[in-house]
Every structure is written in structure tokens, then in C-alpha cells.
């Protein structure tokens, strides 16, 4: 019985410390924009698909424009685990890449998507 209690408490402690990642930035991907955004769509449907925009402005004709801008960074580190084990020498390498996605959505007077454009960069 004590073992079950100890295992249960340990599990609760370990899983309660797990970090929760915010979902908002995960929604905005190029695939999401291409598959879920279309002309005539309502603002609330866009908000459900992409989350809150970074910037809301008006264009020269007074139409509302939502701007989504996200930057994603990938860092990868590798160590020479086998060589460290075999010879006691370590060799390591790291690489880093960044991607950015900018989406501009223009709405008509009825708050429906009039037009949208996006730009995706990888560097």
C-alpha cells in the first residue's frame, strides 16, 4: 500500500511540474493560413483559426487590416557522445535557424476577409 502511495505522489509531483506551452503561437503556421483562411470569412472565424493579431491598423480606404508576425527559432546542439565515451575527448556542434511568417488580412466593411497575403522566410 505504501508503494502505491509513494508512486502516486511521485507521479503527481512530476506531472504537475511540466511546463504548459501557450497555444496562441502554435496556431500560426503557413499551412494553417493556406488551409483555414479564405475570402469572405468572418473576423471571428479568423480569430479562432489564428488567434489574436499582433497589430490592427486601417489602410488608405479605411478598411481594417490585421497583421500577424511570428518568428520561430530552432536551436540544435550535438555532442560527440561516442567519442567522449571512447577517447575522453568531446566534440560538439550546434546549429541555429530562424523562420518568420508575416500575414496581412484586409477586411471589408462587413468585417469579412476581403484579401490576405503572407510571406514566409527561412534564414
DSSP the chain: -HHHHHHHHHHHHHHHTPPPPPSHHHH--HHHHHHH--TT-BHHHHHHHH-S-SEEEE-TTS-EEEEEEEEEEEEEEEE-HHHHHHHS---EEEEEEEEEEEEEEEE-TTSBEEEEEEEEEE-
**pLDDT tens digit string along 12-47?**
665 555 544 444 445 788 999 999 999 999 999 999
Within 8 A by CB and 6+ apart from 46, the residues are 37, 66, 105, 113
**What is the model's pTM?**
0.64
- Name the average pLDDT for the chain: 81
Q: In whole angstroms, what is the distance from residue 70 CA to residue 50 CA?
A: 11
Tell the CATH topology of 22-122.
Beta-lactamase Inhibitory Protein; Chain:B, domain 1 (3.30.1450)
Listed by start position, the domains of the chain span 22-122
Q: In whole angstroms, what is the distance from residue 15 CA to residue 83 CA?
A: 34
In this predicted structure, what is the pLDDT of residue 74?
Answer: 77
Amino acid at each position: 500500500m505504501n508503494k502505491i502511495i509513494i508512486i502516486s505522489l511521485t507521479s503527481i509531483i512530476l506531472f504537475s511540474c511540466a511546463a504548459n506551452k501557450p497555444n496562441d503561437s502554435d496556431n500560426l503556421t503557413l499551412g494553417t493560413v493556406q488551409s483555414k483562411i479564405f475570402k469572405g470569412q468572418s473576423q471571428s472565424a479568423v480569430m479562432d483559426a489564428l488567434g489574436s493579431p499582433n497589430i490592427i491598423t486601417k489602410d488608405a480606404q479605411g478598411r481594417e487590416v490585421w497583421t500577424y508576425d511570428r518568428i520561430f527559432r530552432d536551436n540544435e546542439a550535438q555532442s560527440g557522445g561516442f567519442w567522449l565515451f571512447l577517447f575522453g575527448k568531446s566534440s560538439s556542434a550546434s546549429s541555429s535557424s530562424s523562420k518568420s511568417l508575416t500575414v496581412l488580412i484586409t477586411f471589408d466593411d462587413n468585417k469579412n476577409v476581403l484579401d490576405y497575403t503572407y510571406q514566409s522566410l527561412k534564414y
